[in-house]
Structure 1
């Protein structure tokens, strides 16, 4: 895992612009604390920050391929999980390799297949390839968009990088946000429109896409998408197919030259992966290390809610005993969560979801002390249709994103000027309808089946990118790599066409996955009801952010004041609002605090 940067200009000689490229690359040093690298030609400058995971000596970047005609240069972030098979295939075609790295395999894959190389890859990746022969830049991103990739065009230059801060470090890119960006920020929150980067004139390469740039045009192509067809496998075959893909995926994702550990919440997803990984470790007479998150006084403070049925820790212990892992429980207090609230915002260069990201960042910070790579159960709920919303009529029939159904109060906290400017309900509806038009519905499905497919599409293409962004930024901020086996595109393709009644077999969410994991988990863990990522219930935390919000409201220089209904937000911060509950107010206050600090720290210009 690494960080990448690049600057291409077809009309200007940028070969002596090392200071600017170094500033861009240094901005993401956290993504690659182990090494840096630069490469320059007359019209191209590539930078790289490296986190060593595979082939410490041979994976140096930017990596070059040279022949009699020209040079091809690559800067790459991610892992190619099928690189060993690809290497064998390429060697049969006459390619000669100098290293054992997946980076060199990707470079030779481009030499062999050019832009079609992405059709041969299984992995999580974001890369930039400058082809001197064609004077062409290719930016490519993995199928689901696990690894980030942003770009901007300024004059005759194309700038790209792993994070927004890379582009903002270039003198031609200003931190400007227009009406469209404000609408994304306040109408959709952190679950933004794919490809939209909030900042004016900055774009994100969507998952499953690549972009080709030449001196006179930019061409975006989708190389992977969900295709609908009738699912013909019986229940037994479906279970065995899921189990087989997951076993293969976990085996591939355990390959590393650095220690690999596993996240473990005691829920189905992380527990199943821990079971599969634990078995692989036992084959080598090794013990898998696992990590969980808990909060100070959690046993005293825990309250069941819509998304969290019970505490994780008892279930974590059950899995640890069954699989035989060496476990580490990381405990966080409310004060630590308040103190670090803004770090995830700085990691993603955009406001996020507060404590749910802060705790993840602090967890990864602790895990980094012992390891470099971890497995995570992220995305199982999206691809297996595991969220409660999938079987509730109110959400299935809503003509809006399901996670926004109960957030209509957002409009009430905006200033009248901003409401007029961004038209919240119209913007939300517009973006929802755009997403609906993309869906490959299947002929012959009834209304309920169509709505379930629609919701599945929304979660895979809209909600999942937000979750993956959260995981990438909070982990890479600590120089830590997190792998997500449930994002293997083969699994996602297969499950897309598995009917909801099969996914929820045995009358329980993700019933088909529970059956697949019965070979590695005890039944009580397999059939534990879903409980979401943990959140602190300590009232000290809520009180801390409420006081912080009141301080912002009382400071005339706070940039957010012109954007909000000050008195309404004051009532929420004081806990006297009659509509918004404590749980709702926590997420709202966190988000507003981050927006205010983001406007200040990034010196955002509203245009």
Structure 2
């Protein structure tokens, strides 16, 4: 994994702008601490920071190929899991390779198939190719959107980068947001796919190719989810899922460095860990190392709730014993969370999600002491329908995104009472949320003739896959790459995603259990009690002193007339509902979000414009 950035401009001689290109590249040092490289001509400047996973000697970038009278230059972030097969195919077509890794395969695939090349790729990637003869920049992002890629057009120039901090390092891009951008931050808690929040910044969409030349920009979608009747019976579906999982994990264990797995004791991470451990034994690779996150005294503080019906630790111990892994449990304290509270917004260059991201960051920081690659279970709940709200009629018909309804509470939009009258007048947060929800529904690939419940579930699944999963993947990427760790996500394999998308809802929940089809596919892989465990959400800090510290920090905002967030808040409501309540720490999410916004606005000197 790496960090990539670049600048195309026909109005300047970029050989005189090397300092600017160096600055943009160095902003991504955390993504690629092992190496750096640049390629600069009059028209284009490309920068690369490298985290070495494959082919240490041959994978330096920017990667250049001179073919006849044509020159191609690429910066690439990602892993191609089918690069060995593609390499063989390209060899048969007459290509000759000077390296053994996937970087050259990606660029030679472009030489062979042009912008259709990504259709052949199985992996997680974001890359840019400069075609010197065409005077054209090509930006590409993987099918599911695991790897990020942002860009901005300024006049006739285009600036891009793996993270927004690379763009913000450019002299022509300022930390400005409009009222619409602020409405997105205050209401959604995540970015609408494609929206960079900052003025001028956009996001390359999953499965998209962007071509940019002197005539302008052209966007092409090379992959998207498709709806059609599922062709297989139950037994065939179970065996197909299992075959996919073994093939996917086997491919994702390939690295010139150690690979570890995350395990929570839940179905998804436990299943991947068991498959990885089995493959390790088959391939005589020794013992697999596994990692989990928790908080000190979590057993003492734990109480069941809607999202967390059981404690993780006993289940993790079962999985570790079954898989015979070498396990590392990372326990965090209130002090840990408070010390690293700035990490989320500095990683995203936007407000983050408080303790959830801080704890992930600290977990990844611990893993990086041993390994450069980890495997994680993201996406299983989105594609198989594992969240509780998939199985409740009342939430199927909510007027907004289900996870936002969970944050808002059962009293419709009650959390918006935290905002001032002026905020409601300028930003229209309730209307903005409604509009974004309706726009998301309009994109659902429907299946004609489907029964009403199945059609509702399909809409629901699409929202989870395109919006919630997008946020979770970006969170995972930013927190892991903040410490230079690559996290692979087998459930995001586009073959599996497309196959599972069309499995009928009743079949997905076979045996009367959510994700029943996945539980069957993992039979003989996991112990029965682990397979039947109900979903339990990510661990949460329950210490009252943590919430008390957040309350004190919120009070400081209300007492600070220079706070950039204060004009948008309703101090009386916050004083009554947040600061004045001795509530459990389950209320920490909304207060953490407000603290993140205020700190981000101050540190980044954000300007808000109508």
* TM > 0.5 fold call: yes
* 2:280 counterpart SS class: helix
Q: Distance in 2 between matches of 1:292 and 1:585?
A: 24
Matches within 5 A, 1:328-367: 328-367=328-367
Q: Does 1:595 align with 2:597?
A: yes
Matches within 5 A, 1:12-161: 12-161=12-161
Identify the range of structure 1 (158-167 vs 411-420) with the bigger mean alpha-carbon deviation.
411-420
Q: Does 1:576 align with 2:581?
A: yes
Identify the range of structure 1 (429-438 vs 104-113) with the bigger mean alpha-carbon deviation.
429-438
Q: Distance in 2 between matches of 1:419 and 1:365?
A: 40
Matches within 5 A, 1:152-191: 152-190=152-190
Q: Does 1:551 align with 2:550?
A: no
Q: Distance in 1 between matches of 2:565 and 2:55?
A: 47
| Residue 261 of structure 1: aligned partner | 260
Identify the range of structure 1 (405-414 vs 347-356) with the bigger mean alpha-carbon deviation.
405-414
* Contact 1:273/1:377 (<8 A) preserved: yes
| Residue 463 of structure 1: aligned partner | 468
| Residue 238 of structure 1: aligned partner | 237
Q: Does 1:298 align with 2:298?
A: yes
* Contact 1:297/1:538 (<8 A) preserved: no
What is the aligned residue count?
A: 603
| Residue 419 of structure 1: aligned partner | 424
Identify the range of structure 1 (429-438 vs 85-94) with the bigger mean alpha-carbon deviation.
429-438
C-alpha deviation, 1:573, in angstroms: 3.4
Q: Distance in 1 between matches of 2:199 and 2:587?
A: 30
Q: Distance in 1 between matches of 2:328 and 2:494?
A: 31
* Contact 2:79/2:102 (<8 A) preserved: yes
* Contact 2:239/2:521 (<8 A) preserved: yes
Among 482, 485, 488, which residue is 1:483 paired with? 488
Q: Distance in 1 between matches of 2:4 and 2:312?
A: 37
Q: Distance in 1 between matches of 2:363 and 2:265?
A: 16
Q: Distance in 2 between matches of 1:180 and 1:253?
A: 39
Q: Distance in 1 between matches of 2:586 and 2:301?
A: 17
Deviation string 1:215-259 (CA, Å, 9 cap, x unpaired) is: 121111111111111112111101011001111000000000011
Q: Does 1:440 align with 2:445?
A: yes
* Contact 2:148/2:163 (<8 A) preserved: yes
Q: Distance in 1 between matches of 2:162 and 2:271?
A: 31
* 2:15 counterpart SS class: coil
Q: Distance in 1 between matches of 2:430 and 2:421?
A: 14
| Residue 375 of structure 2: aligned partner | 375
Q: CA RMSD in A?
A: 1.1
**TM-score, reference length from structure 1:** 0.98
Deviation string 1:101-138 (CA, Å, 9 cap, x unpaired) is: 10000010011111111111000000011100100011
Q: Distance in 2 between matches of 1:331 and 1:576?
A: 28
Q: Distance in 2 between matches of 1:310 and 1:391?
A: 19
Q: Distance in 2 between matches of 1:75 and 1:572?
A: 49
C-alpha deviation, 1:504, in angstroms: 1.2
C-alpha deviation, 1:585, in angstroms: 3.1
Among 564, 569, 575, which residue is 1:564 paired with? 569
Q: Distance in 2 between matches of 1:164 and 1:567?
A: 35
* 1:15 counterpart SS class: helix
* Contact 1:547/1:573 (<8 A) preserved: no
Q: Does 1:513 align with 2:515?
A: no
Q: Distance in 2 between matches of 1:214 and 1:277?
A: 44
* Contact 2:554/2:579 (<8 A) preserved: no
Deviation string 1:364-404 (CA, Å, 9 cap, x unpaired) is: 00000010000000111001111011111111112321112
Q: Distance in 2 between matches of 1:194 and 1:221?
A: 16
Deviation string 1:47-80 (CA, Å, 9 cap, x unpaired) is: 0000000000000000001123221100000101
* 1:544 counterpart SS class: helix
Structure 2: 5+ residue stretches without partners = none
Identify the range of structure 1 (376-385 vs 397-406) with the bigger mean alpha-carbon deviation.
397-406
C-alpha deviation, 1:410, in angstroms: 3.0
* Contact 1:211/1:218 (<8 A) preserved: yes
Q: Distance in 2 between matches of 1:503 and 1:488?
A: 18
* Contact 2:345/2:351 (<8 A) preserved: yes
Structure 1: 5+ residue stretches without partners = none
Q: Distance in 1 between matches of 2:584 and 2:567?
A: 25
* 1:7 counterpart SS class: strand
Q: Does 1:585 align with 2:570?
A: no
Identify the range of structure 1 (47-56 vs 421-430) with the bigger mean alpha-carbon deviation.
421-430
Q: Distance in 1 between matches of 2:525 and 2:185?
A: 42
